[in-house]
Amino acid sequence: MFKKLALVMSLIVISLSVEAQQKIKGNITDGEFGGPLIGASVTIPSKPGVGTTTNFDGNYELNLDTGKTTIQISYISMKPQTFNIDVVSGVNITL
């Protein structure tokens, strides 16, 4: 009985943590020329190891906890930029 209860409780906790995350999507472009920045880093400074890079079109996706967070965008030969966002939808950023 205890093992079944522990398994059910584990599944409830897992489902609650999955529901507390949102997928954010965005597109990073060069502010001077307007083209996509391929391979730009999108990281969460408060969570080491959480991040991604932009694809060929400058697009990125991240699963983040809902609420306010900070993302950092960095690219070769450009100064990294930090943005405070409310994780509810995608964010488009121009560097």
pTM score, whole prediction = 0.69
Task: Using pLDDT thresholds of 50, 70 and 90, give the confidence band for residue 17.
Answer: very low
Q: What is the DSSP string of 26-79?
A: EEEE-TTT--B-TT-EEE-TTSTT-EEE--TTSEEEEEEESEEEEEEEEETTEE
Task: Using pLDDT thresholds of 50, 70 and 90, give the confidence band for residue 94.
Answer: low
Average pLDDT over the chain, rounded to whole? 78
